[in-house]
Amino acid sequence: HDWINYWVDKNGSNLANSFWPNGTKKDWIWGLALPLLSDIQQKQSSQNERSLFGISALPGCGKTCLGKWLEASAKILGISLKVLSLDDFYLPSNELDLAMKDNPWEVPRGLPGSHSIDLLESSIDNWLSSGSVNAPQFDKALRNGSGDRSGWINTQADFLLLEGWFLGCHPLDISLNQLEKEFVNHPPLTSNEKEYRSRVQNQLDKYLPIWQRIDRLWHIKLKDFTSSSHWKVEQETQMLRTRGSALKGEQLLSFVRMIQTSIPEESLM
């Protein structure tokens, strides 16, 4: 009751509400957004050290909107918070194209191995020691939806929040029996997908030092793993409508297939 009364007094239902899409349900705000913000507040009051939070959720779940709302709400409440996306640390376009070459889904980005891990690691360490956030920005609408870096940010923050669709995923040793069970309701994996899936697991090893720096990881777990595919299509359709460029057609369907098959569902759920 104290918690509810606190957020009623703060007008929590309408806090920074311009950052939510029309029709956002109150349970998203009261069941996720305000509890997450409360967790950050509690961390702020209990210690003076900088804290790195993480949000893990499949593509299309609303991580970006949630992040923008958190930044705006934190500012209203006097909390120094900056949200970064794992996507912002995609490799520069020429390196990204090389890293994504020959993947069976022909996606231009998104897979483990498409990020500048060393840059992300050094950006976090620099922030931990100085409070200064220096990070690239990635615009997915550039290069006809393939995306490219679009600039840099330089700011100060006491809290840093990193979001990503496979944030926190650890490599798994998946047996053939598990694969057959996992894909009973999906088109079976091709031989190329099976081979590349093993490569993705090896790439995830390189992200473990990043995961170890995260003090608190919030995971938005779907009731239905396939929902993300529908939401990703909606997301790209919206970007095409507002920006004039996005993944579409076969390219979008391949990206959805990559989400469903490149990392075991067990890891992502």
Mean pLDDT by 10 residues, the chain (269 residues): 96 93 90 96 79 92 91 94 96 95 92 96 96 93 86 95 95 62 66 90 95 95 76 69 65 82 85
Backbone angles phi, psi at 72, to 5 degrees: -65, -40
Give me the pLDDT at residue 176, please.
47
Whole-number Å distance between alpha carbons of 137 and 92: 11
Whole-number Å distance between alpha carbons of 220 and 138: 23
Strand residue runs (E) in the chain:
51-56, 81-85, 132-139, 148-156, 159-164, 216-219
Give me the pLDDT at residue 172, please.
84
Other CB atoms within 10 A of residue 267 CB: 15
pTM for this prediction: 0.88
Give me the pLDDT at residue 140, please.
82
| pLDDT tens sequence across 33-69 | 999 999 999 888 666 679 999 999 988 888 888 999 9
Residue 60, helix vs strand vs coil = coil
Q: Please, what's the b/e burial string for 20-40 (b: 16 or more CB within 10 A of its CB; e: otherwise)? A: beeeeeeebbeeebbebbeeb
Give me the pLDDT at residue 184, please.
47
